[in-house]
Structure 1
Amino acid sequence: MTYVLIVVVLALALPWGASRVARRLAGVLPPREACWVLTGSAVLLAGGTVSALIGLFHVPFLASLEQVPLSRVREVWPAAFPLACAAGAVMLVQIVLLVRRWAQQRSLLKRAWQAVADGSGDGDLLVVPGDEVDAFALPGYRGRAARVVVTDGMVRALRDGEREVLLAHERAHLSGRHHLLSAVVDLSTAVHPSLRQLRESLGFHLERWADEAAARAVGSRKTTAAALARAALAGQARHRSRGAYPLLSATSGPVPQRVRALLAPAPSAPRGGARRAGALGLALCVTGSALGALALAYGLHEYVEFAAIAVRGR
Structure 2
Amino acid sequence: MRILVYLPLLLPLLAPLGAQQLAERCEPRLATWLLTASALVLAVASTVSLGVLAATGLIRMPLFAGLGHWSVSSARRDDPTELSVALLAGLLLGGALVMVVRMFWRRIRSLAAAALDAACMPAREGLVVVDDPAPDAFALPGLPGRVVVSSGMLHTLDESEHGILLAHERAHLAAHHYAFVALAQLGAAANPLLRPLAAAVTYTTERWADENAAAVTGDRARVARAVGKAALAARDAAVRSRLPGAALGIFGRRRGPLAAAGPVPRRVAALLAPPPGRRPVLACATAVVLFVAAWSSAEAAHDLHELLETIGA
Which sits farther off after the overlay, 286-295 or 230-239?
286-295
Aligned residue pair count: 298
Map of 2:165 onto structure 1: 166
Map of 2:275 onto structure 1: 266
Going from structure 1 to structure 2, the CA distance change for 1:295 and 1:65 (only over 3 Å counts) comes to farther
Map of 1:32 onto structure 2: 29
Map of 2:191 onto structure 1: 192
Contact 1:29-1:269 at 8 Å conserved across structures: yes
Question: Structure 2 residue aligned with 1:52, among 27, 49, 52?
Answer: 49
Compute the TM-score of the two structures, normalised by the length of structure 1.
Answer: 0.83
Once residues 18 and 115 of structure 1 are traced to their aligned partners in structure 2, the CA distance between those partners, rounded to angstroms, is: 35
Question: Structure 2 residue aligned with 1:8, among 5, 14, 21?
Answer: 5
SS in 2 for 1:171: helix
Map of 2:251 onto structure 1: 251
SS in 2 for 1:148: strand
Contact 2:251-2:264 at 8 Å conserved across structures: yes
Question: Structure 2 residue aligned with 1:304, among 301, 305, 308?
Answer: 308
> Structure 1 residue 294 and structure 2 residue 278: aligned?
no
Which sits farther off after the overlay, 239-248 or 205-214?
239-248
Cα deviation, 1:21-63, whole Å, max 9, x if unaligned, reads: 3542343221111111101111111111122122233445696
Percent pairwise identity: 36
Once residues 200 and 40 of structure 2 are traced to their aligned partners in structure 1, the CA distance between those partners, rounded to angstroms, is: 15
> Structure 1 residue 285 and structure 2 residue 289: aligned?
yes
Which sits farther off after the overlay, 207-216 or 255-264?
255-264
Map of 1:43 onto structure 2: 40
Gaps of 5+ in 2: 253-260
Contact 1:21-1:281 at 8 Å conserved across structures: no
Question: Structure 2 residue aligned with 1:101, among 103, 109, 122?
Answer: 103
SS in 1 for 2:9: helix
- Amino acid across the alignment from 1:168: A
Once residues 16 and 64 of structure 1 are traced to their aligned partners in structure 2, the CA distance between those partners, rounded to angstroms, is: 38
Once residues 200 and 238 of structure 1 are traced to their aligned partners in structure 2, the CA distance between those partners, rounded to angstroms, is: 24
- Amino acid across the alignment from 2:27: P
Going from structure 1 to structure 2, the CA distance change for 1:247 and 1:37 (only over 3 Å counts) comes to farther
Contact 1:132-1:240 at 8 Å conserved across structures: yes
TM-superposed CA distance for 1:218, in Å, is 1.7
> Structure 1 residue 136 and structure 2 residue 122: aligned?
no
Over aligned residues, Cα RMSD in angstroms?
2.9
SS in 2 for 1:268: coil
Going from structure 1 to structure 2, the CA distance change for 1:268 and 1:7 (only over 3 Å counts) comes to closer
Gaps of 5+ in 1: 310-314
TM-superposed CA distance for 1:112, in Å, is 6.1
Once residues 306 and 85 of structure 1 are traced to their aligned partners in structure 2, the CA distance between those partners, rounded to angstroms, is: 22
Contact 1:46-1:191 at 8 Å conserved across structures: yes
SS in 2 for 1:127: strand
Contact 2:129-2:149 at 8 Å conserved across structures: yes
Contact 1:23-1:38 at 8 Å conserved across structures: no
TM-superposed CA distance for 1:290, in Å, is 1.5
Once residues 141 and 9 of structure 2 are traced to their aligned partners in structure 1, the CA distance between those partners, rounded to angstroms, is: 34
Once residues 117 and 68 of structure 1 are traced to their aligned partners in structure 2, the CA distance between those partners, rounded to angstroms, is: 56
